[in-house]
């Protein structure tokens, strides 16, 4: 094992350990904005020991993050506990693809990682649909450049807002309902959320493809990707580790 890669999102953090290009193990945990480096270390040590890995085997670390407080805590962990200078992905990294948007520094680094991995693994043009706290659409042009995309509310985010902003609607499990026409409150909410977001995804993907002037490979990632791929008419691939792979690829370009 040589490299640990982290994708620190607003709701979840995905951790992967790599030997070269091979992902050996991964964990998906809640993102803790207020945890110290020591608290993160204790959890990480427990996770790795439980799967037969040793932290001492980690020789490098690469992070992509949209949560600055968590980024700082993980940096301190690698500095003080493992004596490693972690690589933090930004638009200034050697991405290997052009970034053709109005304000490159405003783009979430996780979206850049998605674009890099999508082009390398699936070719161009490509559309990555990332089901996270927000639902993001990352577009790689036929020429292989990241050209932007779209951002919509996340499925879990919208569901929680529906519960919090209404007096009589309950929290629901995000599972595929048996039918579109719900016969009770639970089914009607699940139908509206799951099939409604499938319609959002398919509608945006088709509009993006129209602007691109042809078909593009559509890859879904994020924790809800397998569920949404079942109900979407446009998603062609599910790649749960696309972001991690993108960070690893960019790290490898910087440290060949």
d(CA 6, CA 247): 8
Average pLDDT over residues 5-33: 94
Starting at the earlier edge strand, list the strands of the sheet with 237-238. 146-153, 134-140, 126-131, 217-221, 237-238
CATH at 27: 3.30.420.40
Q: How far is CA 54 from CA 15, 23, 48, 49, 57, in A?
A: 14, 15, 6, 6, 6
The reply to whether 216 and 123 lie within a common domain is yes
The reply to whether 177 and 233 lie within a common domain is yes
Q: Catalytic annotation on 110?
A: yes
Q: Beta strand 60-65 with 3-8: parallel, antiparallel or unpaired?
A: parallel
d(CA 173, CA 200): 20
The total number of structural domains in the chain stands at 2
51-97: per-residue pLDDT in tens? 888 888 899 999 999 999 999 999 999 999 999 999 999 999 999 99
7-16: per-residue pLDDT in tens? 999 989 999 9
Tokens of 203: 């509608």
Neighbours of 71 (CB within 10 A): 17
Q: How confident is the model at residue 165 (pLDDT cuts 50, 70, 90)?
A: confident
Residue that terminates a domain, selected from 88, 116, 151: 88
Q: How confident is the model at residue 120 (pLDDT cuts 50, 70, 90)?
A: very high
The reply to whether 237 and 110 lie within a common domain is yes
Instruction: Residue 139: give the domain boundaries.
Output: 104-247
The reply to whether 25 and 132 lie within a common domain is no
pLDDT at 167 over 70: no
**Among 34, 38, 92, 110, which one carries the catalytic annotation?**
110
The reply to whether 121 and 213 lie within a common domain is yes
| Burial class for 206, CB neighbours closer than 10 Å (0-12, 13-18, 19+) | exposed
In a domain, 252, yes or no: no
The reply to whether 169 and 44 lie within a common domain is no
The reply to whether 132 and 63 lie within a common domain is no
Note the pLDDT of residue 1.
Answer: 58
Residue that terminates a domain, selected from 55, 88, 121: 88
d(CA 199, CA 217): 18
90-114: per-residue pLDDT in tens? 999 999 999 999 999 999 999 999 9
In a domain, 219, yes or no: yes
- CA–chain centroid gap for 58, Å, is 23
Note the pLDDT of residue 177.
Answer: 87
The reply to whether 38 and 125 lie within a common domain is no
Q: Write down the pTM of the prediction.
A: 0.92
Residue that terminates a domain, selected from 88, 113, 148: 88
In a domain, 221, yes or no: yes
């Amino acid at each position: 094992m040589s490299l640990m890669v982290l994708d620190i999102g607003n709701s979840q953090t995905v951790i992967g350990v790599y030997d070269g290009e091979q992902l050996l193990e991964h964990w998906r945990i809640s993102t803790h904005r207020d945890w110290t480096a020591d608290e993160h270390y204790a959890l990480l040590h427990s996770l790795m020991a439980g799967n037969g890995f040793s932290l001492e085997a980690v020789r490098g670390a690469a992070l992509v993050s949209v949560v600055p407080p968590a980024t700082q805590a993980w940096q301190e962990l690698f500095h003080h506990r493992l004596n490693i200078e972690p690589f933090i992905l930004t638009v200034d990294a050697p991405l290997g693809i052009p970034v053709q948007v109005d304000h490159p520094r405003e783009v979430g680094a996780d979206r850049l990682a998605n674009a890099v991995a999508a082009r390398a693994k699936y070719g161009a043009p490509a559309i990555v649909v990332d089901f996270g706290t927000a639902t993001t659409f990352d577009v790689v042009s036929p020429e292989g450049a990241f050209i932007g995309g779209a951002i919509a509310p996340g499925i879990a985010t919208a569901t929680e807002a529906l519960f919090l902003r209404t007096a009589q609607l309950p929290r629901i499990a995000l599972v595929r309902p048996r039918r579109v026409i719900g016969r009770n409150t639970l089914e009607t909410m699940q139908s509206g959320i799951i099939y409604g977001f499938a319609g959002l995804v398919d509608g945006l993907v088709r509009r993006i493809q129209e602007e691109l002037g042809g078909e593009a490979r559509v890859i879904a990632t994020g924790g809800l990707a397998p569920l949404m791929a079942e109900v979407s008419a446009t998603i062609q691939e599910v790649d749960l580790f696309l972001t991690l792979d993108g960070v690893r690829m960019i790290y490898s370009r910087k440290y060949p």
